[in-house]
A and B are shown apart, each in its own frame.
Chain A
Amino acid sequence: MKTPSAIHHKLLEYIDGTLTSAEVQALEQQLKTDLALRARLNELRASHAALRAILPQEQPSRDFTLKVMENLHHAPSQDAAQPIRKSILLLAGALIAAIGTAILMASGLFDSVTTTLDLNAMKPADLVMDTVPTLKINARMLVNAVIIGNIIIAFIVLDRTVLKPFFQKRLSS
């Protein structure tokens, strides 16, 4: 489903009681004449009531507090550090691959590497076409695509592992 429409936002805010009194009055006027809107409100109210009933607060075990107090001086688990370390390694790998390939490219290693893919040799006997086109593959073009792909990966990893956590931390502090 796409972003909810303005009237859907209004209906949900009406149910939650977060509309201003002027907005409530305007919506109630609209509800008097618009049967479809009233039906929609009733559907939303029913699912709201059902969710309130079905998502109650859960209770942990009886000795929960005791267990916490007993383990207070144990070091908390560091499970979040592992993915960050992996991501930084992935970032370094992507950058090294991109830089390495770019250096090889600049040295002219791939300039003369081209190949022709002759599809005629693989043509099935019952194909209607007499000849199929041959494809020229340029290594320089392929390597350029690999470099761009690596740089894109590096930017995504940089955003997820360094920039986003940094700004979230700044925001929360």
Chain B
Amino acid sequence: MIIDPDHSVIDRILAGDQAAYAELVNKHKSYAFTIALRILHTRPDAEEAAQDSFIKAYHNLRSFNRQAKFSTWFYRIVFNTAVSYKRRQRQHFQDIETTVIHYSQEAEGMLEKTDKKKYIAKALLALSEADRTALSLFYLEEFSMEEIAEITGMQTNTIKVRLHRARLRLAEELKTMLNHEAITL
């Protein structure tokens, strides 16, 4: 069994100390929100998806079997919830084309502080949605490849290939975009 400090907090919650759940929320809210934001690209949707994930996790806390870290189990809920929200976003508001434009505007608005950031944001847009998500999770630096695989429900090897492919593609995009100069910025 894994030693995870979150397990003792879960014991308290399951024993009836509901307020202890706030400790888990405070500890994991930033990553949960970041994961949701990387998938949904808008802060209000990401906030709603992250909150919903905490509520889902609370209702399913008894079914958490402690074979893995609480964070891995929970971030998988966040990932799946955000993906469902994304599907709903697409159904209700936009087709794929406008989603890409929307992301571009948001990403550029957020990143236009420097040219370098702008170029990277553009290069990121050239990646597939799945590759971009894997890359985002990897660069949060909280997760190993195995954990990213568990969170996204993919095989570790698939994640490894996907990540490496995305990183190479990004380097290529940057090189092309900046005519070799961005690499040395």
Contact = CB atoms under 8 A, between A and B. Distances in A.
Contact of B18 (A9, A72, A74): A72
A102 B26 CA distance: 59
Contact of A44 (B18, B121, B168): B168
B25 A68 contact: yes
Contacts of B165: 1, 3-4
A80 B52 CA distance: 12
Nearest to B33: A60
Interface in A30-68: 42-44, 46-48, 50-52, 54-55, 57-61, 64-65, 67-68
B55 interface: yes
A65 B29 contact: yes
Contacts of B31: 57
A77 B56 CA distance: 8
Contacts of A8: 164, 168
Q: Taking chain B's interface residues, is the majority helix, strand, or loop, or is none over half, making it mixed?
A: helix
A12 interface: yes
Interface string A72-101: 101111011001000000000000000000
Given A69-B25, A76-B56, A50 B116 contact: yes
Interface residues of A, number: 39
B37 A43 contact: no
A69 B51 CA distance: 9
Nearest to B50: A60
B183 A47 contact: yes
B55 A172 contact: no
Nearest to B183: A46
A80 B84 contact: yes
Contacts of B168: 1, 4, 8, 12, 44
Interface of B: 18-19, 21-22, 25-26, 29-34, 37-38, 46-47, 50-52, 54-56, 58-59, 65, 76, 80-81, 84-85, 87-88, 111, 116-117, 120-121, 135-136, 139-141, 150, 153, 160-161, 163-165, 167-172, 174-175, 182-185
